[in-house]
Amino acid sequence: MMNIFEIPLPELASDPDWADHKRLETECNREIIGGPEWDVDPEADLVSARAEKEWATRWFLARDAEVAAGWARTARNMVDQPELAYVTLYVTPSHRGTGLGQALADTVREVLVAEGVTLFQVWITTNIVDAPLRPSSGFGGVDPGHGGVKLALANGLKLKQAERVSRYDFARPLVDPAEALAEAQGVAGADYEVVTVEGQMPEGMLAGYAVLMERMAVDPPQGELTVVERTWDAERVRQAEAVRLLTDRIYRAVVRHLPTGDLVALSEMHVDRANPLAFVDQWDTIVLPDHRGHRLGMLVKAANLIQVRDKEPNAQAILTWNAEENRHMLQVNEALGFYPVYAEGGFEASVAEAVDNGESVV
């Protein structure tokens, strides 16, 4: 008999339901990338979940008798847009085709709608295919045969944006990042200074970093996805750092405009403390609009590549995500040696749109 239930945050990471949820998360990740680079650490995830104050996350597990057969996770940013829920679910290969995916979706939807959620967003990673399902923009696309894509479409969600997942191998750069840095600095000129930071941002940079984070929420292309504005200040930066630094090492490079003292560009990368084989995770990269056209994207990206390479000698590769319509950033990545490895689709639907022949859906 199949039983789907919510997992409360446990006291110990060894809690059987929590441990099974995390084991299946690792199984899901290995199915995507084929290796241990995204393996989940139950203890690290529990530490992070306990510390998190901004995001409300809920975990669901499906058991077929005693066998863990699938899971779901929902996340809502309670500061900026609590009515939007990000939903992820997974069904083990042995239980696919049984209706469990829909049952998990139904369970999650019922819980979220009762809490006032009105908008759902789902991100699905697929292989790159020759005949993809494309968003209305025409840029990029995902594998239409992927089970998650089929489930999302059957439940009324629409593909609103496609992203490219790219990989950078430290052992095989297309160019020496030091040469790329020097060339970009030559174009940028004496008005711009690049600074690298490990760990917390210095106090004097908090306000400038907060501005960059606010712009990061709205500046990159987002297709037809709902744009969520975010308000940042020094306190919010410190709160976010406190949570992330529990499980990650954080590396940032910023560009300072010397005539004004403003921070005008950012590249941020994270390294998982618990998994020595983990990919370096490229987070935000942005150049403020008034300072574009000076090669600052290359400048800040190359500087951070060098920092991470030198301080993480065991790191093998970086993964980064970019909207397919963001050609400028993709060109910067390609020039450094990033190459496409996966596609990722952002699907979205309102509660009113998310219907499947009258049944409850995600």
* 159 and 228 housed in the same domain: no
57/204 same-domain check: no
Give the integer Cα–Cα distance in Å for 245 and 44.
11
Whether 70 and 41 share a structural domain: yes
> In the beta sheet, which residues pair with residue 142?
133
Using the Cα atoms of residue 32, residue 35, residue 37 and residue 42 in order, give the sign of their dihedral: positive
**Domain of residue 311, residue span:** 172-315
pTM value > 0.75: yes
Q: State whether 150 and 200 are in the same domain.
A: no
Identify any residues that bridge with 77 across adjacent strands, giving them in sequence order: 55
What's the chain's length in residues?
362
Say whether both 284 and 209 belong to one domain. Answer: yes
Angle at 210 between CA 209 and CA 214, to 5 degrees: 120
> Contact at 8 Å (CB) between 318 and 168?
yes
Under a CB-based contact definition with an 8 Å cutoff, are residues 60 and 7 in contact? yes
CA 242 to chain centre: 18
Q: Are residues 118 and 261 in the same domain?
A: no
Note whether 145 and 181 are same-domain residues.
Answer: no
Distance between the two ends of the chain, CA-based, in angstroms?
Answer: 23
- 331 within a domain of the structure (yes/no): no
CA dist., res. 184 & res. 175, Å (int): 13
Q: Does residue 355 sit within a domain?
A: no
Evaluate whether residue 276 is within a structural domain.
yes
Same domain, 92 and 185: no
Please state the φ and ψ torsions of residue 54, each to the nearest 5 degrees.
Answer: -90, -40
Residues 17 and 139 occupy one common structural domain: yes
| Residue 338 maps to a domain | no
Residue 243 lies in a domain: yes
Q: What is the pLDDT along the chain (362 residues), one digit of tens a residue?
A: 899 999 999 999 999 999 999 999 999 999 999 999 999 999 999 999 999 999 999 999 999 999 999 999 999 999 999 999 999 999 999 999 999 999 999 999 999 999 999 999 999 999 999 999 999 999 999 999 999 999 999 999 999 999 999 999 999 999 999 999 999 999 999 999 999 999 999 999 999 999 999 999 999 999 999 999 999 999 999 999 999 999 999 999 999 999 999 999 999 999 999 999 999 999 999 999 999 999 999 999 999 999 999 999 999 999 999 999 999 999 999 999 999 999 999 999 999 998 654 443 33
Residue 292, domain member (yes or no): yes
The reply to whether 287 falls in a domain is yes
Token reading at 29: 């990740």
Q: Is residue 155 domain-shared with residue 267, that is, in the same domain?
A: no
CATH number for the domain including 19?
3.40.630.30
Domain count, the chain: 2
Q: Which pLDDT score is estimated for 355?
A: 64
257 inside domain: yes
CA dist., res. 233 & res. 15, Å (int): 37
Is 255 found in the same domain as 224? yes
Say whether both 263 and 310 belong to one domain: yes
DSSP letter assigned to residue 290: G
